[in-house]
Structure 1
């Protein structure tokens, strides 16, 4: 546990990072892609010496700590900035440590297939690694083919940018990713990691971690970030809401039926039924995401906003995923 001076130090670091980010935000926000930046180019990686990477302040980007925490608790994927996971919800992760010496483990990822309407799971092997010029292990490297990933090559960094004269161009991962090396995924893992940088591994960089949540960024998700929330915190949010979730669902259903011409004592067409279902699912997920965003630890949200900007894609539905939070057994295919 951090001491009071350390905690105060972290607050000053976060404040400094916030001010610096606010000053640079307009440039980042107005950026649009360009392809003329191959001449007079200097490759830089700001994450090789991040603001938070100071031993005296405690580790906020510790991959091994992420593995240890996930071995004790279940974490749910709540927010994602890139790469939508179409057809899947209720994505959670648990872990079994296999070697503390080699810092290896097995990740079991559970998810709900919305088309098959059933829970499934898949297990991948991972290890904690250190990226170039880093003080601690900050990378979780996964092999999606059922074997343990190699420790080489050394991870280069999760967010690289190039300076070309007076302009700055940002890449979502390492620059000039060789598309010919992209692995062909399969089903859920292909959607979870759509742009796998290698046939042999996927790297997930720890942007921020604490017991309540952790944030991972990966070139395999188009350089986007994922926020994973501990089950205990998620369950408390759901329990505190109580019947509000059901009432919101009923309100959304009534509004959608009116908008789609489904009137009382009338039988809806198949198309109308699908429209109403889609409206309710979209509405309840947006509503719940806003609530979770306000109730998660401010440290988690601030770190996510500073490093990743605002979340775009939703992965959790409070109606569909309820069984994964209760003591009920979740049936797998």
Structure 2
């Protein structure tokens, strides 16, 4: 029997030690995953029982950050969003990314499912207030429950809905907050145990703003494929993936391969050539000529690198 609350408390303590030693600016989600592996080993879980970036059929090619005793053991998703250094800080997109992990993990059959998120004080306040505004419940104490009804998620701001993307489901996802631990000054580690969503409540596709849950559940496979093949659908996935890359790395810029790898991890249905064309031509403010869509979400930042336009709005 694994003492998961004890493990997450120990991970929080190790993150706090990094920050106290002056390494806070170097912390990423990969650091948190490695610390989780090391703590699991201290608690008697041998490295041979662990696997990272595990493909899950239920996620249409998407991957889980960490699994103990794969494939059906304990699924873990980790999130450590960091405030943008560019001035482009779309809290609604980050909010959608945070909720997305709950939906993804709930869809995976496993003996146990965890979502662990490190949030700074500012972002935690934003998430709590956003949940209140949109009829969601974000636990502020250990033992509190969280419910994510599809109808409430469909009414989130457009940027948040786009960040959730293909992880949308037709039912209600529920979770229990098992741990809230300080990870150094101004940072909290939240650990949620996720209830599995019944298979009958899964929807393959994207819930768009203004579409209620019953309409989303009624989408046919043909409609889903058509939506995923649209330019706007590709743009939404790319924006969410790029934001995840810069949040995780703490860098201002990103590369096409990084975004492509992130989209593949999430189970994208878009070809690499499509993603490259979208980033280099349709979404880049510096692109000119016939056939460019002119969204102007990104600008070039040297050879092979891009960044969000700090003054550009996602339209």
TM-score between both structures, scaled by the size of structure 1: 0.27
Determine which structure has greater relative contact order: mean sequence separation of CA pairs < 8 Å that are 6+ residues apart, divided by chain length: 1
TM-score between both structures, scaled by the size of structure 2: 0.28
- Structure with the largest fraction of helix: 2
- Structure with the largest fraction of strand: 1
**Whose radius of gyration is greater, 1 or 2?**
1
